[in-house]
Chains A and B, each alone.
Chain A
Amino acid sequence: MFERIMSMFSTVAAEEHGSVLLVFIIGVLFGAIIQYTRADKFEKIAGFAMLKDTVVPKMLFLAIGLASIGLYFLIESGYAHYHVKPVMLGGLVLGGIIFGIAMAIMGKCPGTGPISIAEGRIDVMVGAIGGILGGLVFTVYYDQFKLIMGPSFGKMTLTTLFVGHETLSVLIFGIGLVIISIMIPLREEFDEADLEQLN
């Protein structure tokens, strides 16, 4: 196991996607932002599923809206490029349904889960064991899962759908999401520890 963990670091070091330290720092910032906004809390994601808390959708839509515009101009200036995932219709719909149900019940997603474990959540640690087993089952039965993931419609983006109007379509998309994030009414659900600090 030790060898394979070391191979994780050497793989990242050998790749052209940032040094091990840089990737680690991206993770630190990712964890810090999510923790500092408290978006890792059960009350935030499960609370959103119950429409009692809207911090997560507001933050998510604002981030996507701003990043879609910023990223487009980064790419136009030659500082980055797109890494688009193909439209695998079966996988997206079926996986999305399973993911949405599980996310509402667990109150976490795979990115916020570890961050709330770092905050001392034992229930999420048990959920992570379930997740690791899910990863194991998916790996072992990948050939079977693969049968229901298609058909693939290729890599599509707004810029490939609206050729000739790339900038306009990205701007409408991005500004639209920013407006939506501001328009969603702010509702909040707190946990015991936060309520104590509030009072």
Chain B
Amino acid sequence: MIRRIPWWLGGVLMALLLMFSFSYAGAGRPIGASTYVPYFAGIIFDLDPEKYTYLKEIHNAGSWEGVMLLGALVGGFFTAIFVTKSFRLSVVPTAWKKYKNDSVLSRLIWSFVSGFFLIIGARLAGGCTSGHFLSGMSQTAISGMIFGGVVLTTLLVTGRLFYKKEARNV
């Protein structure tokens, strides 16, 4: 058996965590997971927050998400080692081999390019799956619903056009 919990338990736990984060007993704010990226970029490339208005705008949110992200890395790592026992170094995902190609270079280049645009898209929209979908739509925010509708549509269209329909043998 795969060591994991079913989708519905994951959904219930995620809803509880989200409500805890929102509540005054918790953090009194939503969960977000894309502001930390430009925040870390500012630290890594040593950009002066006085010079870049965006860094000033995201200073508080970026710090909060930065600490949360460190927790997520630790939580993900220990769960992968001790609970799901799924930790292993790997480069090309199985489904990529099945529906795209075998090439390590192809996967790495696409991963790099899509990683770049993933963050540009998230910052243009002002949020990602966590900020707009999870936190935004849980507040019945119209911004979250617009983002959700656009992302769902383009995700499915891209999935249809980018990958092969029939699986290759791997």
Contact = CB atoms under 8 A, between A and B. Distances in A.
Contacts of B62: 8
Interface residues of B, number: 137
B116 A134 contact: yes
B129 A110 contact: yes
Contact of B93 (A29, A51, A107): A107
A109 interface: yes
Contacts of B119: 110, 130-132, 134-135, 138
A36 B154 contact: no
A146 B17 CA distance: 32
Nearest to B3: A197
B83 to A, nearest CB: 6
Contacts of A163: none
Contacts of A67: 14-15, 18-19, 134, 138
Given A23-B67, A31-B74, A134 B10 contact: no
Interface string B98-116: 0100000001101111111
A73 to B, nearest CB: 10
B169 interface: no
A105 B158 contact: yes
B80 A120 contact: yes
A62 B8 contact: yes
A123 B93 CA distance: 8
A161 to B, nearest CB: 7
Contacts of B122: 95, 99, 110
30 contacts: A4-B42, A22-B26, A23-B64, A34-B72, A36-B84, A43-B94, A49-B163, A50-B160, A63-B11, A64-B15, A67-B14, A67-B138, A68-B140, A84-B136, A85-B127, A85-B131, A88-B125, A92-B143, A98-B117, A102-B115, A103-B155, A114-B76, A115-B75, A117-B76, A123-B111, A127-B111, A134-B115, A134-B117, A139-B52, A148-B124
Given A67-B18, A95-B120, A193-B86, 15 more contacts: A35-B84, A46-B163, A52-B95, A60-B134, A64-B138, A68-B140, A71-B138, A80-B19, A82-B141, A84-B139, A97-B121, A101-B117, A110-B118, A129-B112, A134-B115
Q: For the complex of A and B, list the 10 residue pairs with the smallest distance between their C-beta atoms, beginning with the closest.
A: A27-B71, A49-B159, A95-B125, A31-B75, A100-B154, A96-B150, A62-B11, A95-B124, A127-B115, A130-B115
